[in-house]
């Protein structure tokens, strides 16, 4: 079956200059197709493609690493849970390496406006808005009011921290209120 059909130029052996190609053509004309390169060529092509992909990925990783190092100086940390209790604003700072260790340079200090009030925290609790959903909603509200959301303290960790603080304060107030009445507290 494999010996039925073969296509080659009538003067192929005279026209081929490369001796390796000439030997290959002669091997193809033998019975059993000893000169076939079907699977061998596919394996070689796949290896070359894999090596090329690996090289492209390595270049892309290196480029990404270089961009991250270059942008390291421009990063600003804009959210912190540890702020002054007066709810006015907070200064957030990311410290660099301790001692003489080589590391990324210190980041810029950024004034962050605190938006958290007991009323806002109570409203989020009352509407059963999750800590994850609150920053999305508050960011859209800030944008619609022409505020820059980057300048506002609205991260998920801030939502969680202020909610915990508000709940602890509210619980302490309720507990103190029951103590003042002098009546025993009963949990039903």
CB 92 within 8 A of CB 80: yes
User: Do 66 and 132 fall into the same domain?
Assistant: no
Is residue 140, in this structure, part of any structural domain at all? yes
In percent, the amount of the chain with pLDDT more than 70 equals 68
Is residue 146, in this structure, part of any structural domain at all? yes
**Tell me: the pLDDT tens digits for 23-35?**
888 887 777 666 5
Is residue 3, in this structure, part of any structural domain at all? no
CB 3 within 8 A of CB 35: no
Provide long-range contacts, Cβ within 8 A and 24+ apart, for 70-76. 72/104, 72/105, 73/105, 75/107, 76/107, 76/108, 76/110, 76/150
User: Do 87 and 55 fall into the same domain?
Assistant: no
71 pLDDT more than 60: yes
38 pLDDT more than 80: no
Q: Which pLDDT belongs to residue 147? A: 87
User: Do 124 and 164 fall into the same domain?
Assistant: yes
Distance CA 95, CA 187 (A): 47
CB 160 within 8 A of CB 79: no
User: Do 24 and 44 fall into the same domain?
Assistant: yes
User: Do 113 and 26 fall into the same domain?
Assistant: no
Q: How far is CA 139 from the centre of its chain?
A: 20
* Domain that residue 177 falls in: 80-92+107-181
41 pLDDT more than 90: no
Total domains in the chain come to 2
**Tell me: the pLDDT tens digits for 130-186?**
888 988 898 899 899 988 888 888 888 888 888 899 999 988 888 888 777 777 667
């Amino acid at each position: 079956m494999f010996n039925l059909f073969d296509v080659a130029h009538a003067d192929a052996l005279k026209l081929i200059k490369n001796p390796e190609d000439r030997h290959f053509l002669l091997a193809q004309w033998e019975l059993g197709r000893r000169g076939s390169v079907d699977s061998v060529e596919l394996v070689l092509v796949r290896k070359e493609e894999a090596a090329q992909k690996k090289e492209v990925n390595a270049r892309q990783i290196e480029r990404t690493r270089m961009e991250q190092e270059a942008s390291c100086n421009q990063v600003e940390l804009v959210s912190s849970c540890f702020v002054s209790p007066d709810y006015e604003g907070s200064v957030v700072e990311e410290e660099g390496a301790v001692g003489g260790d080589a590391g990324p340079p210190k980041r810029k200090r950024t004034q962050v406006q605190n938006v958290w009030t007991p009323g806002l925290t109570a409203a989020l609790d009352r509407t059963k808005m999750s800590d994850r959903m609150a920053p999305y909603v508050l960011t859209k509200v800030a944008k619609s009011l022409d505020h820059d959301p980057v300048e506002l303290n609205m991260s998920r960790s801030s939502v969680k921290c202020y909610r915990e603080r508000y709940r602890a304060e509210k619980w302490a107030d309720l507990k103190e209120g029951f103590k003042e009445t002098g009546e025993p507290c009963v949990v039903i």
